Structure 1
Amino acid sequence: MREPNKIASAVKEQPVQTVTPDGASHPAPPAKRRTFLGYLALMGPAFVVGAWQFGPGNLTTAVQAGSRYDYTLVWVIAVSTILMIFFTDMSVRLGISTPTSLITSIKDHLGKWVGVLAGFGVFGITLMFSVGNAVGSGLGLSLVFGGSPVLWTVVCTAAVGFVLAFRNVYGIVEKALLAIVVLMGIAFIASTVVAQPDWYRSMEGMVPTLPPGSEILIVALVGTNFSINAAFYTSYGIKENRRTRADYRDITLVDTIPGIVAPGIMTALVIMVAAAVLGQTGGEATSIGALASIFAPLAGPVGSMLFALGLSGAAFSSMIANATAGGTMLSDALGRGAKAGSPTARIFTGVILAFGLAITISFQASPVGLIVIAQSLTVLIAPLLGVLLFIMSNKAAVMGSLRNKWWHNLFAAIGLIAIIASSLRLITTLLG
């Protein structure tokens, strides 16, 4: 018979079992006591994703939603944000669990051609986004400082290209986008205070309705706010920062949720501002520039400038994240490196920037219709990326204890149904 003190010692030596946020029971990792700065250090990947999805295309569709349909489409943003959180979380867990990058893991487990197709699909999406980012960045700064929008587009493109010369490309991008997101939030909150929207009617807009003729605009709103291609890229940020399973819970609380909720709130505020401007001035703002000009008599030059500053930040931040993500994932698909600083990734990032600039210079009129159509077309690639995230995050051999649980799969299924339905609606509308 063992002595009591030996029994007690044996009990103390047993590893403590804990249930992590993914629902699995396993030995707890060593506890980490994080300082406030330690929590801030975990912020980044999801905010990069949020900055990517919150670009000129997002603003354009939000302005049209508020101007044409008042507050009735706010619910689309709320639903899209919830679904976006779940898909971003899947990508976070894949970034933690996979020994290699996401596209390389897809090639290893599902076939090389599948990973290559995913990489080229995302690259195609980023090319389409680059046009809106280039146009929006120039337009926003021209509204603030005057001068030619095309000239400002050249300046913004050169500034982003300059970042490619640095060794730690992703680290610089991440820090810059965190700061820009904060500034954008301040600008759009201030714009909302000035516009004084009807908060009761905005809450009514949380009830799902389908106003006649709003179908394509809803598809565009889903394509920009439930951005699976952006969620897909989160795993690369996780890899760049070398996050571990011990970090997962804190990442969820300080990065994943706030990083995705922030652009959702800003998009809803833009819809409300557009609806308020329409209600108080009677002018319909079908473009960002039109909203800024109509906003001026309502809020004065300061109010108009606040909105223009928000637009500039949205366009510039999206330009940075979009080009970096597209270049990185195509480089990964071709087996030429999965980091933003790899030579091939830098080249493809430059190609995306050059494409957006070339189209902007060639067609100097603000292509609002092109932006909306481009955002809608992203929904055609999104189902593939969503299915790949779903399949990979359910593979026990890949995920281990971070494998999807039933509630993950429930919301993933809802998201896939929504994105596939949007794709089918877009196809039938275009063919009709």
Structure 2
Amino acid sequence: MSERTTTRHTSTTPGTGYGRVSTETMKSIVDTRRTRRNFWQQLALIGPAFVAGAWQFGPGNLTTAVQAGSGYQYALIWVIVVSTILMIFLTDMSVRLGIKSPVSLIASIKDHLGKWVGVLAGIGIFLITLCFSVGNAVGSGLGLSMLFGGNPVMWTIVCTVAVAALLLLRNVYRVVEKVLVAIVGLMAIAFIVSAFLANPSWAAAASGLVPTVPDGSWLLIVALVGTNFSINAAFYTSYGTKERGRTEADYRDVTIVDTIPGIVAPGIMTALVIVVAAAVLGKTGEAAPTIVALAGIFEPLAGPIGSTVFALGFFGAAFSSMIANATAGGTMLSDGLGRGASSSSLTAKIVSATILAFGIVITLIFQASPIELIVVAQALTIFIAPVLAALIIIMANRSSLMGDMKNRWWQNLLGIVGLAAVLALSIRLFATLFLAG
């Protein structure tokens, strides 16, 4: 049967249901079958989800993971598993929105839900990036000081200048994407090696997959979810998808080589950091509430090479997150204000510079207790996360926008579970911070 005949007999109005296949979808299927990608062509699709993963896996994620392993050993690994699964489904919705939206996600929100909703979304994400900028600034400085010695603040300034120079490039997103994919790969190697050097009890680690809530762990659970179930990073994936010009014909391959591995990778690395901290505690009896303390205890246990590898992974997490955080925050606030949805726009660059400057200023002011500041800042982001999650789910259900790529019932079910989780944790965090006393 010819393509013309197939199209004529299957044509229907987009978004009218699942019983029939639309002309557009059928054409995508035909195109995909005609252009089967080889291995290297599939690898070329890697990008947007790995950028989201790099943003998600920052120093706040590492700090809370270290505290989880040091304070509760393997008991909270299940939090990472559950939040990673939920993160995959929210990111997938964002990818489909990036494919189907004729404009950016925030611009589409303005068109469908009202201009003020889009503006608030842009401002909300910008506020999240301000919180994250503190951890990124502190973490990048600590990471390089662990590797080379010297004052962490000096290294923080060096890293900030390097990121600022990167963001001045003309085609910012493409350069950022390539840099971050490479760093994520190096981090994965570093933390896998670190975990095996720590020689943990893998049976005990497996027991952490069973959900338990140890006494006094609620604030830490909130912080773990706030960093690993990163709604803002999922939201930004639609922008990378749009910048890369993804189509419906790309969707299946993108899911396999980018969306799933890009989100699973930081989840595995976070779990491995918990394993390292728990193994160190089990072998030495010493708790390590901070990254620096863990590296100090890890050196006599795994040798100087092991300590260096771990420090390299930590620096990679902080520096990659600093790049992605500034890029995403600048892009989405610029879009929210109607000043352009590209990271290369002047407004986006100015906002990105503001985010970087904020991170340095707060780092200088609060040098005495940076780790506590990271944990609280990461936990506070969960107040904005429910709004962003709701917007992703609502937009992914708009038939007039999504057509045949709108959410199925099972995607909505998992999306609602994720939304309910962040809502519940927001309420719990509010009670812990403001009502406990």
TM bucket, shorter chain: over 0.9
Match of 1:187 in 2: 190
Alignment partners' CA distance in 2, 1:285 and 1:292: 9
Q: Which amino acid aligns with 1:403?
A: K
Decide which moves more: 354-363 or 65-74: 354-363
- 2:143 maps to 1:140: yes
- The verdict on how the C-alpha distance between 1:159 and 1:11 changes in structure 2, with shifts beyond 3 A counting, is closer
Alignment partners' CA distance in 2, 1:10 and 1:65: 59
Task: Select 1:14's aligned residue among 6, 28, 52.
Answer: 6
Match of 2:14 in 1: none
Alignment partners' CA distance in 1, 2:36 and 2:3: 25
Cα drift, residue 10 of structure 1:
6.9
Q: Which amino acid aligns with 1:289?
A: V
Matches within 5 A, 1:145-184: 145-184=148-187
For the aligned residue pairs, the C-alpha RMSD in angstroms reads: 1.6
Cα drift, residue 35 of structure 1:
2.6
Match of 1:389 in 2: 392
Alignment partners' CA distance in 2, 1:143 and 1:337: 39
Runs of 4+ in structure 1 over 6 Å off: 9-12
Cα drift, residue 366 of structure 1:
4.8
Q: Which amino acid aligns with 2:72?
A: Y
Deviation string 1:24-68 (CA, Å, 9 cap, x unpaired) is 734142132213221111100000000001000000000000000
Matches within 5 A, 1:31-430: 31=32, 32-430=35-433
The answer on whether the counterparts of 1:71 and 1:275 sit within 8 Å (CA) in structure 2 is yes
Identify unmatched segments of 5+ residues in structure 2: 12-16
Deviation string 1:162-210 (CA, Å, 9 cap, x unpaired) is 0122111000000000000000001001101100111111111000000
3-state secondary structure, aligned to 1:279: helix
Alignment partners' CA distance in 1, 2:367 and 2:41: 46
- The verdict on how the C-alpha distance between 1:54 and 1:17 changes in structure 2, with shifts beyond 3 A counting, is farther
Q: Which amino acid aligns with 1:119?
A: G
Query: What is the TM-score of this pair, normalised by structure 1?
Result: 0.95
The answer on whether the counterparts of 1:187 and 1:310 sit within 8 Å (CA) in structure 2 is yes
Alignment partners' CA distance in 2, 1:349 and 1:17: 47
Query: What is the TM-score of this pair, normalised by structure 2?
Result: 0.94
Share of identical aligned residues, percent? 66
Q: Which amino acid aligns with 1:144?
A: L
Q: Which amino acid aligns with 2:179?
A: A
* Number of residue pairs aligned between Structure 1 and Structure 2: 421
3-state secondary structure, aligned to 1:430: helix
Alignment partners' CA distance in 2, 1:105 and 1:387: 15
The answer on whether the counterparts of 1:135 and 1:366 sit within 8 Å (CA) in structure 2 is no
